[in-house]
Amino acid sequence: MTEIRIIVCAKEIPDPEAPLSDVSVDAEKMEVIVDAPQVISPFDENALEAAIRITEEMDAKITVLSMGKKVSDTVLRKTLAAGADELILVEDDVFEKLDSHSTAVALAGAIRRIGEYDLILTGRQAGDWDSGQVGLILGEMLAVPCINLARDISVEDGSVVVKKSIPEGYELVKARMPALVTVSNEVGELRYISRTKMLKMMRGSRSIPSWSAGDLNVTPEAFQKMGIAELSSPPDMGRDCQFIEGSPDDQAEKLAAVFQTLR
């Protein structure tokens, strides 16, 4: 059988799980400031994991595609250490704060440049703007079958078979490839990468291709910014926590009494 070509779209974002104290809002500049390291958006890691599992079943090649104003190859090299075969960065100043549609335009441009593909995997939503749109828009632009919210993905005879989450459970669906699938966390965490593997990849001399907007065969007007009119801090969620002290037994007794008062 011929090799399956998988493209995983992965976005680099400030750690969305950073403690609340490390996050602030600059209302003037309309920016969320996160004092935490950059990471790969979590659902994109799930998507990469799904892709790697496919390579374990058959001859398949994974290309990771990441777009941004500036993409840190040290963050993204993790995908190579995990098992991706190729990493392509698409970087340009015009890519700053693009809206979902324009992001999909850029990714579609890069994918057309990559050429042949069978399966595109994206995360269900990125952890910075929580938009949840780019995957499906990209599928529409490329005019391929789209499957949203996958919890399990396999490939057989030129088709992708997906367990798609639905409110009452899941739906087993099948589409001819090429196809696009958005991935949810039920797929499972990205596999553990050993320190040595990681270090080797970080220090590696392997050069990572970087394309700019000009390489994508897209008119510059296609890149529109997300229209932010206002950005503010959320209402304070804090409460006064009453700590229950003592030995576990004391604590249990006091906590049981708390429950009594809440009845």
Ligand X SMILES: Nc1ncnc2c1ncn2[C@@H]1O[C@H](COP(=O)(O)O)[C@@H](O)[C@H]1O
Sites of contact with ligand FAD (CB under 6 A): 16-17, 42, 125, 127, 130
Can you read off the two tokens belonging to residue 258?
Answer: 């708390």
For residues 235 and 248, which CB has a smaller minimum distance to ligand FAD in the complex? Answer: 248
Judged by CB under 8 A, does residue 166 bind another protein? yes
- Give, in order, the Cα–Cα distances in Å from 122 to each of 57, 67, 134, 260: 20, 13, 8, 48
Instruction: Give the binding site for ligand X (CB under 6 A).
Output: 9-11, 41, 43-44, 65-68, 100, 103, 107, 122-123, 125-126, 129, 131-135
* Region from 70-78, 112-120, 198-206, 240-248 binding another protein, contact rule CB under 8 A: 240-248
CB of 4 or CB of 108, closer to another protein: 108
Residues in Cβ contact with 81 at an 8 Å cutoff, skipping those fewer than 6 apart:
193, 197, 198, 200, 201, 202
Residue 11 interacts, among ligand X, another protein, ligand FAD, none and using kind-specific CB cut-offs from 5 to 8 Å, with ligand X
Q: Which does 115 bind (CB under 5 to 8 A by kind): ligand FAD, ligand X, another protein, none?
A: none
Please report where in the chains the tokens 């069978």 appear, as a residue.
118
Q: Which of 9, 10, 50, 104 binds another protein (CB under 8 A)?
A: 104
Which residue lies nearer to ligand X by CB, 9 or 155? 9
Which listed range, 15-23, 53-61, 72-80, 82-90, lies at the site for another protein (CB under 8 A)?
15-23
User: What would the two tokens of residue 203 be?
Assistant: 């220090």
Residues contacting 77, CB < 8 A, separation 6+ = 87, 201, 202, 204, 208
Phi and psi at residue 5, to the nearest 5°: -105, 120
Residue 248 contact, options ligand FAD, another protein, ligand X, none, Cβ 5-8 Å cut-off depending on partner type: another protein
CB of 214 to ligand FAD, least distance (A): 32
Q: Quick one: 1 or 262, whose CB is closer to another protein?
A: 262
Both structure tokens of 231: 């950005």
Cβ atoms of 90 and 98 within 8 Å: the answer is: no
- Map residue 15 onto helix, strand or coil: coil
Residue 176 interacts with another protein (CB under 8 A)?
yes
Instruction: Encode burial over 122-159: b for 16+ CB neighbours within 10 A, e otherwise.
Output: bbbbbbebeebbbbbbbbebbebbbbbbbbbbebeeeb
